[in-house]
Amino acid sequence: MLELRPSCECCDKDLPPESADVRICSFECTFCADCATNVLHGTCPNCGGELVARPRRPASALAGNPASAKRVFNPDCARQH
C-alpha cells in the first residue's frame, strides 16, 4: 500500500492525501507537481525513475488506512538540478 507521504522532498510543500498536485516514482519518492516538472524535469533525483501522478486514496479508505506523517525533505534538491 502506498505511504502517501505528506510533503514534497524538494520544497517541503504540504501534499495532503487528496491532492492531485503530487508526483511519485516507483520507490514513492514524493514531489509536488511544480518541482517534478520545473526543477526535476520528470525524473526522480534519488533513483532516476519516472515521476508520475500519485493515485488518491478515497476518503472512506483513509480512516482505516491513513496517510503517512513522515516528512522527507532534502533542502539541496533544487540546487542539485
Tens of pLDDT, residue by residue over 41-54, are 999 999 999 999 99
**Residue 42 forms part of a structural domain:** yes
Calpha distance 8→21 (Å, rounded): 10
User: How many structural domains are present in the chain?
Assistant: 1
**Element counts in the chain: helices (H) and strands (E):** 3, 3
**Residue 64 forms part of a structural domain:** no
Torsion sign across C-alpha atoms 56, 60, 63, 64? negative
Query: CA nearest 56: which of 48, 69, 67?
Result: 67
**Residue 69 forms part of a structural domain:** no
With cut-offs at 50, 70 and 90, classify the pLDDT of residue 81.
Answer: low
CA angle 18, 1, 77 (to 5 degrees): 65
pTM of the model: 0.91
**Residue 22 forms part of a structural domain:** yes
**Residue 67 forms part of a structural domain:** no
**Residue 61 forms part of a structural domain:** no
DSSP secondary structure letter of residue 70: -
Which range marks the domain in which residue 26 is found? 1-55
**Residue 73 forms part of a structural domain:** no
